[in-house]
């Protein structure tokens, strides 16, 4: 997913951060992710988040990442 977001939006790869305190990631029986593709507290990211074209790129990147994951894990 991260690779697709970086490739599709040109965003900086800030890595994956594990969080043990998030139930949605650690106490489910299904694959789960949280996608944070910007923060409104960051002026530059806020401008991107308000841009329709950038939003489309983010959505396309998420779809591409999910399709790739499902191609590797068809039983999911």
pLDDT for position 14: 86
Q: What angle do CA 10, 74, 9 make, to 5 degrees?
A: 5
pLDDT for position 76: 63
pLDDT per residue as tens, the chain (76 positions): 889 999 999 988 888 888 889 998 888 888 888 888 889 999 999 999 999 999 999 999 999 999 999 999 887 6
pLDDT for position 36: 87
**Alpha-carbon torsion (4, 12, 56, 17), positive or negative:** positive
pLDDT for position 75: 79
For the whole prediction, is pTM greater than 0.85?
Answer: no
Stretch (H or E) spanning 19: none
């Amino acid at each position: 997913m991260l690779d697709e977001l970086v490739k599709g939006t040109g965003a900086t790869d800030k890595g994956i951060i594990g969080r043990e305190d998030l139930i949605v990631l650690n106490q489910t029986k299904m694959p789960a992710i949280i996608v944070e593709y910007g923060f409104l507290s960051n002026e530059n990211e806020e401008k991107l988040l308000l841009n329709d074209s950038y939003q489309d790129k983010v959505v396309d990147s998420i779809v591409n990442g999910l399709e790739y994951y499902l191609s590797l894990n068809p039983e999911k």
